[in-house]
Amino acid sequence: NGPLHATRVARRAGIENVLIPRDPGVGSAIGFLYAPISFEIVRSHYTTLDQLDTADINGLFEAMVGEAEKVVRKGAPNDAVIRQRTAFMRYHGQGHEIEIMLDDRAISADDIPVLRNLFETEYRRQFARSVPGMIIEILNWAVRVSTVEQPPAPMASPSRTRNLKPELTRQIRCDVSGAMVDAGVYYRADLNPGDHLPGPALIIEPQTTTLVSADFTARVDGGGNLLLSRTNPQGTGS
């Protein structure tokens, strides 16, 4: 229902432009299909940094990487993959951990002071100061293996502009004036890049309806998205 309420929320929030993507009702599903194939594993293995057994941790990481990569390879047998390793660290006695990114390689004893520095640098970034002399604990270790995210294809600008007039209208209560008004009715499947239409209007598609309020206009960009723009951002409609 987001597109049905978007212009009203934008007006109250002082937002002048709203983007309604293609297929907004199933956007999460489409995003899932376009997202990299990935699998993440988190395992508990408590230790203090000073007592870190690097052989144990390297064995834990090796097993997690192998398990995660096996899952990813079922969907992407030959794709290049990225491996990310994380340690969840905290000062002794604290209630929550900080995620510290690690290099994708085995840990050696020489890395212990490096881990301490990484943790305290990130702790200072989040909380403005570190606590010298405190015992540092590591509770959990994580591995994420994923395929490489592909950049989106460039979006071409519309090759022409067309101002639309509705062939069908429907009476609605205007959310700006409160009066009953005629709203133009359009079907999104019939719209093309470069099309412009004024509010009040209803743009109908299978999953939802977009309300273009009286103080907004709509246009279709080169990717088929709807861009709703407020026509009187300083007006009394706010």
Which of 172, 173, 208 shows the shortest CA–CA distance to 187?
A: 208
Q: What is the pTM of this model?
A: 0.66
Question: Which pLDDT belongs to residue 68?
Answer: 97
Give residue for tokens 């057994």.
53
**Is the model more confident about 56 or about 232?**
56
List, for residues 42-76, the tens digit of each pLDDT value: 999 999 999 999 999 999 999 999 999 999 999 99
Q: Does pLDDT of 115 surpass 90?
A: yes
From residue 40, alpha-carbon distances to 68, 86, 230 in Å are 6, 11, 43
Question: Which pLDDT belongs to residue 47?
Answer: 96
User: What's the rounded mean pLDDT across residues 184-208?
Assistant: 94
pLDDT band for position 109 (50/70/90)?
very high
Q: Cα separation of 94 and 118, whole Å?
A: 18
Task: Give me 237's structure tokens.
Answer: 């409609």
- CB-count burial class (<10 Å; 0-12, 13-18, 19+) for 218: buried
Q: Does pLDDT of 186 surpass 70?
A: yes
Q: Does pLDDT of 189 surpass 70?
A: yes
Question: Which pLDDT belongs to residue 233?
Answer: 60
Q: Cα separation of 79 and 36, whole Å?
A: 10
User: What's the rounded mean pLDDT across residues 85-107?
Assistant: 95
Lowest mean pLDDT among 36-40, 78-82, 155-159, 177-181: 155-159
